[in-house]
Amino acid sequence: MISQIMKNIDRNTVIGVIITSVIASIYSYKIFGIYIFGLILVVIIRYKWDIFDAKKFNSALKNITLSVVTIFILTILGELWLQLYPHQFTGIDGVDVVGELSDYTSRGYLTEDILSKKKDVIRILTLGDSFSVYLREKKQNYNNFLQQKFIGSGKREVEIVNAGMEAMGPGYYWHIIDKYGDLFKPDLILVGFFVGNDFEEADFSVYIGNFVIEPKKLYKRYLKYDQFRHWRLYRLLKNKYTRYRDDQLKKEEAKSQPSQPVGTFSQTTFLEVEKKRSWMFDKNNWGLLNQQWRECSEIILKMKGWCDRRKITLVIAILPEQFQVDQALRDAVLTKYTHIAAENLDLSHPNNLIVNFCRTHDIHCLDLLGPFQEQGKTRRLYSVRDSHWNEAGNRLAADLIFDYLEKNQLVPPRPRQ
């Protein structure tokens, strides 16, 4: 049968089929599988029942190859454009590397003047992801409230320098400490470890606008470029579609439920986000969680070593995920996604990993989970469908951190003139 098939397929068609198969595998293994399966099915039908004309069959395959190659060339051109001119499609101007000091100054987070530390100041350098900057412009972030707590206690010499950045993780925290730590001249470093996604962000990544995220290290950035899902173009299109879809869902929800408060995300998208983050509490996934934690713990040890060599105190504050705190949200996720078994969930396990590690390596660690769970029973601590703390949540975090630092006498005394 195979020899009979090959007699009726010319050489150019075979080459075209191979090229189409390779391109299909780059876009998606599923597309590749569907293409090969469909091709085999058509060939079997053609030569078992002699339905299709051989010339038309060859012509059809060549046309498919031409279409696929054309689409692939356009895809490559789009990717090259994003590599050379990323700001054209991402809606930003001149800022494409998160975490550099020039990026801070352009966004207004910090100024170069912050590197000139006064002699009589005790400086706390805080690092974190979006939790460290959310509501910052309203001065309702926990770093703002922590600064107010020190001023209110009479310790005006304590200065909070917030070097946090949204959508970052431990890899970024270490990048700032290693590259700029000596310039900041901190007396204490406070790292906010967010349970929701910091376990997955041991590598330092950068953002291109608000849509494209990729590893900062070049070899990791292009290591998986044999798959389209790792290209900038794919991530750009995916994220733009995701935001468009969520906007449409929010409009539909506003029409059907006008009394419901408007949140950052639609209810559908928000539950999807929380479902994805709930994996680490499932006992069946602890093998993967332990693997990711090992990578994060190595970074924390680097921070600890850096601080020890300079006699600087390192404090890890564990920031809880809303899924751990909000019973109503947890019930909504479990109701919609029935494959998640409540009896397999241990909400404190990820936090215990961090606490036990810090205890073993003599690192100061504050777990906010217990107080947030207790306070969350009677009041809202998170913004509406957002997963970040509202003003009350930020105030509670600041109170807990301030009390922990004072109780353990971690803030050094005012330097002598």
3-state secondary structure the chain: CHHHHHHCCCHHHHHHHHHHHHHHHHHCHHHHHHHHHHHHHHHHHHHHHCCCCHHHHHHHHHHHHHHHHHHHHHHHHHHHHHHHCCHHHHCCCCCCCCCCHHHHHHHCCCCHHHHCCCCCCEEEEEECCHHHCCCHHHCCCHHHHHHHHHHHCCCCCEEEEECCCCCCCHHHHHHHHHHHHHHHCCCEEEEEEECCCHHHCCCCEEEECCCEEEECCHHHHHCCCCCHHHCHHHHHHHHHHHHHHHHHHHHHHHHHCCCCCCCCCCHHHHHHHHHHHHHHHEHHHHHHHHHHHHHHHHHHHHHHHHHHHCCCEEEEEEECCHHHHCHHHHHHHHHHCCCCCHHHECCCHHHHHHHHHHHHCCCEEEECHHHHHHHCCCCCCECCCCCCECHHHHHHHHHHHHHHHHHCCCCCCCCCC
pLDDT at 158: 95
| CA-based max dimension of the chain | 97
Q: Is 303 left (phi over 0), alpha (psi -120 to 50) or beta?
A: alpha
β-pairing verdict for 205-208 and 364-367 = unpaired
Q: Is 2 left (phi over 0), alpha (psi -120 to 50) or beta?
A: alpha
- Output 299-302 pairs: Cβ under 8 A, ≥24 positions apart: 299/170, 299/171, 299/173, 299/174, 299/202, 300/170, 300/191, 300/357, 300/358, 300/361, 300/363, 301/361, 302/174, 302/178
Residue 411, both tokens: 């803030």
Of 219, 205, 211, nearest to 99 by C-alpha is 205
Of 327, 316, 318, nearest to 373 by C-alpha is 327
- Alpha carbons 353 and 363: distance in angstroms, whole number: 13
- Alpha carbons 37 and 54: distance in angstroms, whole number: 19
Give the Cβ contact number of residue 108 at 10 Å: 9
pLDDT at 1: 46
Partners of residue 50 on adjacent β-strands: none
- Alpha carbons 53 and 347: distance in angstroms, whole number: 63
In the predicted model, residues of the chain with pLDDT beneath 70 are: 1-9, 46-54, 88-99, 106-108, 415-417
* Strand arrangement, sheet containing 122-127: 158-162, 122-127, 188-194, 313-319, 364-367
β-pairing verdict for 188-194 and 205-208 = unpaired
Of 193, 171, 145, nearest to 369 by C-alpha is 193
Give the Cβ contact number of residue 309 at 10 Å: 8
Identity (one letter) of the amino acid at 283?
K
Burial 352-372 (b: 16+ CB within 10 A, else e): ebbbebbeeeebbbbbbbebb
Residue 124 has, within 13 A of its CA and on its CB side, a CA count of 26
Domains and CATH numbers, the chain: 2-84 (no CATH), 101-407 (3.40.50.1110)
Residue 282, both tokens: 């499932």
pLDDT at 415: 66
- Alpha carbons 192 and 124: distance in angstroms, whole number: 13
pLDDT at 304: 98
